[in-house]
Amino acid sequence: MAAIRSDFARTSAARLNAIVGNQMRRNLASLADTRLDRRVRQNNWENDSYIDYQTMSDNLQIVRSRFANRPLTYAEKVLYSHLDNPHSQELERGTSYLKLRPDRVAFQDASAQMALLQFMSAGIDCTAKPATVHCDHLIQAYRGDSGNLDDALGANKEVYEFLESVCAKHGIGFWKPGCGIVHQIILENYAYPGGLIVGTDSHTTNAGGLGMCAIGSGGADGAEIMAGLPWELKAPRYVGIRLHGQLSGWAASKDVILKVAGLLTAKGGTGNILEYHGPGIDTISATGMATICNMGAEIGATTSLFPYTRRMYDYLVATGRQDVADFARSYAPELSADPGVEYDQFIDLNLSEIEPHINGPFTPDLATPISKFAETAKANNWPDQIRVGLIGSCTNSSYEDMSRAASVARDALDHGLKASSEVTVTPGSELIRSTIARGGRLQTLEDFGSLILANACGIEKGEPNSIISSYNRNYAGRNDGNPDTHAFVSSPEIVMAMSIAGSLSFNPLTDKLTDSRGNKFMLKPPSGDDLPDNGYVTPEDAYQAPPNDRTAVEVRISPLSERLQILPKFAPWNGEDATDMPILIKAQGKTTTDHISAAGPWLKYRGHLDNISNNMLIGATNAANGKTNNVLNTTTNTWDAVPAVARDYKAKGMRWVVLGDWNYGEGSSREHAAIEPRHLGAFAVVARSFARIHEVNLKKQGLLPLTFADPADYDKIDPQDRISIASTQLAVGKPMTLTVHSKDGKSFTAKLNHTFNETQITWFKNGGLMNTMSKMPKADSLSSS
């Protein structure tokens, strides 16, 4: 202290004034930087979209006063800060329906077609919220990247022209084919801490890696938000997942969610937001956190997210968003959970103890640690030979993922080895592909024998036996259309290691390989940076902004098209009970949106409702005979394909019902799984339980998703029975009556539950959300610029 005093004493008065003045200016600058009402752009592409931390903060203060300052989870903070009416909104976890004002909406090209057709049908001029369309799902990746893209541009020309024109007409940003996977583009360009985004893909949750509450939904939800309406979400419950320790060796961020999937199962996250916290989060990169959030969709979670960390700050800066990163620091106290917060469920995970996992086959929640995987595979007689290893997808295609996978490939090459299995690599975006190409990692992967595919989401394969991928889903037939293929999910580095050995029984942590000289060796643990030392290579000509003057733009749809079709108007409810309806199918067991509306070759009809409806429920298992796409037409007493019987019932003026098992409609957010049944004459789907997104999608198409009050009633109904539903009983919180008319002339009743609120009942009465939107005053909240 004496030395300090001495130095200070020797400082001249002028020098002292200068020091004090500089410090004051720094303090004032610091105070200015913490103002929440600054105009900071959400991204580098839109000049009129700003982050509104001030309103978010004001809304939170209102909610806190109502809660008497009860501690809030981070996810609660994000949701409540986006309430349409924070003063009077009911806020009961797991019960209330929140009316929210999302910051933006994103569409992938497959779901965008039907969503934008619906938006057009409502007669609305311009999107009221920032929106983007991303062309990724229609690119089928099966050969070299330029070939994949060229094929897609040729095969999907009319669809891309439609999407480009409808975006220009209605003020929507357009990301061209080949730019990358929608979720990677969102992370690189649009996601920011504390924001709320809704996307028409279940893996929109990926943006949780940057602290954004990102929720997957159906296309009608996106249209609703663009129309300027509040968006409804059933108030979730909250699962707190505390992370401590640090991943090491072969363990990767993917193993965190693979472990959690095993703990919670495919339906254990339904109705919940998974909120990660604890000291361990600081050891995970932003893209690693995105991987964890992405695959949370596979356990039914509404979304997953992490609080704001330094790793997020670094990623925002690296992707050209320094202003956003700094602004988030100003709002940092609200970008994490309050001390003392209470979660509805709590999980504690020590990252230091997590080992690599391999999940599957046929379901992403069958989790097996690698130390037990070989014996488990042998005990279950899973095909040992790995035919294909697939690296990439929206879950694992970051710079870090590619770097770590390339390090394993480099180790093998240094020992004179290449893959024993076929290996495909899908970079997440052109930003990633260009950057790993500059650093030589892409060349390493190619030298290893990998097939580098387009920056896209889809892959079509035809290989049987076992495959292993770093993807998020592995349902039967998902990757190659072959229901007998055993598909496993793991991290990119484990996929690479297993592909070198070509065997499910190989464990890179304990097993040795034989190099080209006959010597035994063990693969080194993977290594790789989460961010490139020299920055990312920014692609050119990737994004197309809507024109300032949209009056002359015409939306391009050919009346002769087999892929695009202007939507018909659905009839409103007739105000009467629905009586004596046939059961189209009693679906047994797992019925995902893939089973209800298959992907693969059907993707090309996503914009043509009548044509794509020929895939409706063709993958669902019929409880009557254990077969798929084979149901009894009760009016002709003949067996036929599901869509054919539905069309016959519709032609005869008969509404029909689907019976579903547990978690009906899990998986993708695919809206077609709801709009196709509506188009072909469905009245209701009655199930033991529903996946969240699909239940809402059904409501928005004017259908009744109902659940058995007693799940055992599902077993009492024969597929040939007739069904009556007292739809005039539909009221908030009130059960409805199902009457079952048996073949023998007897009948019985069962109680049905539902989750409709007043707004959703209006949708049903009007014949769907789009009919409701078309009744809106056109100038209420919409821009006409």
Position 203: which residue type?
Answer: H
Neighbours of 78 (CB within 10 A): 27
**Strand 682-687 with 303-305, pairing:** unpaired
442 vs 440: CA distance, rounded Å: 5
DSSP for 726-761, written as a single string: -GGG--TT--EEEEEE-TTS-EEEEEEE----HHHH
Can you give 680-734 as a three-state secondary structure string? CCEEEEEECCECHHHHHHHHHCCCEEEEECCCCHHHHCCCCCEEEECHHHCCCCC
Write down the catalytic residue from 109, 145, 201, 713. Answer: 201
Map residue 312 onto helix, strand or coil: helix
Indicate which residue of 121, 397, 668, 669 is catalytic.
Answer: 668
| 421 touches 389 (CB < 8 A) | yes
| 688 given a catalytic annotation | no
Q: For residues 572 and 768, give the distance between their C-alpha atoms in angstroms, rounded to a whole number.
A: 8
Q: How many CA atoms lie within 13 A of 489 on its CB side?
A: 31
Has 466 been annotated as catalytic?
A: no
Q: At 234, which amino acid appears?
A: K
- Angle, helices 286-295/182-189, rounded to nearest 10 degrees: 140
DSSP letter for 614, please: G
Q: Which two tokens stand for residue 613?
A: 């409806």
Task: Provide the token pair at 43.
Answer: 């991204």
Instruction: Give 381's Cβ-side CA count (13 Å radius).
Output: 1
Catalytic residue from among 277, 473, 672, 679: 473
SS3 482: coil
CA nearest to 358, candidates 502, 463, 501, 262? 262
Length of the chain: 785
Cα–Cα dist 308/186, whole Å: 17
Residue 694 CA to residue 720 CA, distance in Å, equals 25
CA distance 121 to 219: 13
Count Cα atoms within 13 angstroms, Cβ side, for 395: 29
Residue 201 among the catalytic residues? yes
CA distance 633 to 508: 54
Catalytic residue chosen out of the listed positions 183, 433, 670, 694: 670
Distance of CA 128 to the CA centre of its chain: 23
Here the tokens at position 145 are: 């990247």
- Catalytic option among 82, 104, 137, 647: 137
Query: Residues 103, 109, 136, 221: which is the catalytic one?
Result: 136
467 Cβ contact list (under 8 Å, min separation 6): 386, 387, 388, 389, 390, 461, 479, 480, 485, 486, 487, 488
Please give the single-letter amino acid code of residue 226. Answer: M
Q: Which residues contact 170 (CB under 8 A, 6 or more apart)?
A: 116, 119, 120, 124, 125, 126, 127, 226, 546, 550
End-to-end CA distance of the chain: 65
Q: Give dist(CA 515, CA 493) in Å, integer.
A: 19
670 tagged catalytic: yes
Task: Cite the active site residues.
Answer: 136-137, 201, 473, 668, 670
